[in-house]
Structure 1
């Protein structure tokens, strides 16, 4: 929600100190974080120190539903026998599997998509910061434009839609009180022109509501 990246290197250090396993939930990292889109562990250079990865097919991989767990063979066998979500879930529809498989193939074939995502993310974050907005997090395509006031976030999101930009205002209880924001999600399908148009719409709307001068 805040566009943060977990301090995974420190977590791995701590786990090794106490002979613990490292489990990460990569639902907001798979497909776009790291040079090849493999996730936070690739981004931070600890792929060989993470033992279990849980993630989704329903976000960046485009499958709309489903997820997966990867880890040691013994763990996977245990999950197949004892995991209630696995035992009592239907198999994924073939089109979902096909879509997600193709997305993974595209990521493995070239780092162009992941690098494009990183460049577009920084373009948006840098331009918004230069315009006077506060963007939470660092280098993550989830870019929360911090506003603090729930009504302001809602009004600005409505005005952005009138300018042809669809963004969502978040406020309590989804986020803490006083931390209302508009959450922007950068996509690989966005062009640089899309990014610039969105920034221009934020500047116009932000000036209207006195957020920036």
Structure 2
């Protein structure tokens, strides 16, 4: 007799419960802000990717409402049939200018962008070399290709050189890396990685989900941070859902990249275009970050303060270089218990364990934003001190 659906669901869910890995998302009962409400508790929010405070920003909401009223609730079709509105093309021009690239194309999410771009560019006979800690969307995107796949040690240009030297090809060679790694908060040494890639004639592909809006002048991203903007052998992809406060993904690079993706990227070809309100929000976000430098200044001032105070308390922040600030607890039980206790103290910060992060490196990942005040951060630090001492993570 065949396995029933109920049996499969029960087996898988039981395994997750028994291993302590079953996810039950917390529900926000107020807008995504530096302070919000979770499970009936008013909290300081350290769990979101809302780096610049754009998710509930009045100017961005106003532009979204304007585009909604002018252009309607939805696009009504995929981009290649009847779903490309003038506002879509205008925003992509704005994005390419912001990124200093020859072209840009917006897709439905950062995850599908990696599937669409990697699936379009990589063919049999190509070689792609990926950082061992790259995001799951990159891993899944590469699985869909028939290119030869190799791994190099995390952020290690010397190991990248070794792998490329051992894997020559007549096809395309590509090096793939996150710009900022989402679990550890470290920055890829992109200048060194690009130099190695160029030595072997390889293109460099940078997923800048957590670098765009955070690094580089006016938030232009990791590529700009390392002075590599405008390079035709560098492809930038990322999300529009983190620093930009809305939703979507983008690919920016060579002037011809956009046209090929329009014709070949399956997520673009088979998904309805972004709603007008989302486009309006993104237009406003790009304008605002360029007009108001205080946003990034506050983001980095808050980041430096929070990291320094955690270190003073005795916490290990794992060498993070960005607003992503992990606090190491080691075993998942400790990280999850700390997360529960922090919530009871009024701090929303989520524990992460295997398989999201390696075994033995369970942590709470905190993200500081431009919207947090010092009072918010001091409140969170006080809670961290009490919980850390209670669990024996820091000294009494």
TM over 0.5: yes
Decide which structure has the larger Cα Rg and report it.
2
* 2:276 corresponds to 1:81: no
Shift of 1:174: 1.1
Name the TM-score, length of structure 1 as normaliser.
Answer: 0.95
Partner of 1:109: 291
Mapping of residues 87-126 of structure 1, within 5 Å: 87-126=269-308
Tell me how far apart the structure 2 counterparts of residues 15 and 168 of structure 1 sit (CA, whole Å).
36
* 2:385 corresponds to 1:208: no
Partner of 2:235: 52
Partner of 1:144: 326
Structure number with higher relative contact order (C-alpha < 8 Å, ≥ 6 residues apart): 2
Helix, strand or coil at the partner of 1:152: helix
Helix, strand or coil at the partner of 2:348: coil
Name the TM-score, length of structure 2 as normaliser.
Answer: 0.52
* 2:218 corresponds to 1:36: yes
Partner of 1:16: 198
* 2:344 corresponds to 1:153: no
Segments of structure 2 that go 5 or more residues without pairing to the other structure are 1-182
Helix, strand or coil at the partner of 2:290: helix
* 2:396 corresponds to 1:195: no
Question: Which contiguous aligned blocks of 4+ residues in structure 1 show a shift greater than 6 angstroms?
Answer: none
Question: Are the counterparts in 2 of residues 5 and 137 from structure 1 also a CA contact under 8 Å?
Answer: no
* 2:244 corresponds to 1:61: yes
Shift of 1:37: 1.3
| Bigger shift: residues 18-27 or 54-63 | 18-27
Question: Are the counterparts in 2 of residues 36 and 115 from structure 1 also a CA contact under 8 Å?
Answer: no
Q: CA RMSD in A?
A: 1.3
Helix, strand or coil at the partner of 1:54: strand
Paired residue total: 212
